[in-house]
Amino acid sequence: MRRAVFAILSTIAGLVLLLTFKTQNPTTPALTAPPAAISPSTSTSTGSSSSGSSGSSGSSSSGTKTLTGTAADTRYGPVQVQITVSNGKVTAATSPQYPSNDPRDDEINSYAIPELNQEATAAQSAQIDTISGATYTSEGYITSLQSALDQAGLS
């Protein structure tokens, strides 16, 4: 039998900001991602149009790639993450789709996104392969970033 070897390392890398969204009763923005909670995989793909919810690879030139994660539904609305990879490193992360029906959201997002930018880069420098600990409010977000990282194929 294999002997599993465990080690645990502290890190302050972070990924998720969604719980900072405190709006009540948000409505879904124009983009309607199928609820992650119930969507079957095969029937609701919206393709890779610029407003679609499926992940897609973006532009690629001189070692720089922009990758867009799958939009994930959260109780605050769909959240999507886009990362830019240059020479194998995350250089930027933005959230092209996030709940914004309330002015307060914009205020929250305006600090959340720069923080996301920093956190995604930190996560990359921590070279995390995958995440454990999903929760129902943040799962969508983690999944979305993970999806983007998956596509980036970072090592």
Partner 1 sequence: MSRTIVMTTPAPPRTVHVEHCMGTVFSIDIRDPGPWAEAIAAVTAWLHRVDAVFSTYRADSDISRLQRQEMTIQDADPLVPEVLDLCQRMAAETDGFFSAYWDGQLDPTGLVKGWAIERASRLLSEHGSHHHAVNGGGDVQTVGEPAPGKSWRIGIADPLHRDHILSVVTGRGIAVATSGVAERGKHIVDPHTRRPADELASVTVVGEFLTSVDCYATAAFAMGAGALPWLEALPGHEALVVSSSGTSRSTSGLRL
Task: Note the residues at the interface with partner 1 (CB under 8 A).
Answer: 1-2, 4-20, 34, 36-42, 44-46, 53-57, 70, 72, 88, 115, 119, 123, 126-139, 142-143, 146-147, 150-151, 153, 155
Phi, psi of 140, rounded to the nearest 5 degrees: -60, -40
CA pair distance 68, 149, nearest whole angstrom? 9
DSSP string, 21-45: ---SSPPP-SS-PPPTTT--TTT--
Closer by beta carbon to partner 1, 45 or else 106: 45
State the burial class of residue 73 (Cβ atoms within 10 Å of its Cβ: 0-12, 13-18, 19+). Answer: buried
Taking the complex as a whole, how short is the minimal distance between the CB of residue 121 and partner 1, in angstroms?
A: 13
Taking the complex as a whole, how short is the minimal distance between the CB of residue 150 and partner 1, in angstroms?
A: 4
Taking the complex as a whole, how short is the minimal distance between the CB of residue 138 and partner 1, in angstroms?
A: 5
Closer by beta carbon to partner 1, 88 or else 104: 88
Beta-carbon count within 10 A of 111 CB: 11
Taking the complex as a whole, how short is the minimal distance between the CB of residue 64 and partner 1, in angstroms?
A: 15
Closer by beta carbon to partner 1, 44 or else 91: 44
